[in-house]
Amino acid sequence: MNRNPVKILLIEDNPSDVELILQVFEWCNMKEHVHVIWDGAEALDFIFGTGAYSGMTASQKPKAIILDLKLPKLNGIEVLRKIKSDERTRAIPVVVLTSSQEERDLVESYNFGANSYIVKPVKFDEFANVIRDVGYYWGLINEPPGNSPNK
């Protein structure tokens, strides 16, 4: 696992999207603070410090999560529901980044506590700009509870 503090946990199963997202974060000098997980079950292990991730320290918990909805093992809606229903993880911002334009997915995401819902742009430049903006805002600018430098 990446030894740098995790600012962004990327939960995405599409290798092409992961490659592009990591390339954009590299351009923004943020790649070293991104941890990638490929399925919903492993994501929950990481977030809750269970399974292969037992013994994680608080500094290894993500500052923000970018979550795809269409994941193997456990879908993104279920991952979101579990994150937002647990007192220990409820405050972690979750940005849904998906190709789904289904109204049902949008409504369910917000109902379960998503902080943002973004449909993946198809054009490369638009996709890169969205990822850059998401990374800067949620990874660098936003201060969720428990991450204050004065704490």
Cα–Cα distance, 42 to 48 (Å, whole number): 10
The confidence score (pLDDT) of residue 146 equals 65
Q: How far is CA 82 from CA 15, 62, 75, 126, in A?
A: 25, 15, 11, 31
Total number of domains in the chain: 1
Cα–Cα distance, 74 to 39 (Å, whole number): 7
The answer to the question of residue 27 being in a domain is yes
The answer to the question of residue 67 being in a domain is yes
User: What tokens were used for 108?
Assistant: 């369910």
The confidence score (pLDDT) of residue 135 equals 87
Domain that holds residue 13: 8-141
Q: Are 67 and 141 in contact (CB under 8 A)?
A: no
The answer to the question of residue 12 being in a domain is yes
Q: What order do you get walking across the sheet with 8-11 strand by strand? A: 34-37, 8-11, 64-67, 94-98, 116-119
The answer to the question of residue 149 being in a domain is no
The answer to the question of residue 58 being in a domain is yes
The answer to the question of residue 32 being in a domain is yes
The answer to the question of residue 56 being in a domain is yes
CATH code of the domain in which 48 resides: 3.40.50.2300
Q: What is the pTM of this model?
A: 0.89
Per-residue pLDDT of the chain (151 residues; tens, 9 = 90+): 445 567 899 999 999 999 999 999 899 888 888 999 999 999 999 999 999 999 876 667 888 999 999 999 999 999 999 999 999 899 999 999 999 999 999 999 999 999 999 999 999 999 999 999 998 898 888 887 765 444 4
The answer to the question of residue 45 being in a domain is yes
The confidence score (pLDDT) of residue 28 equals 84
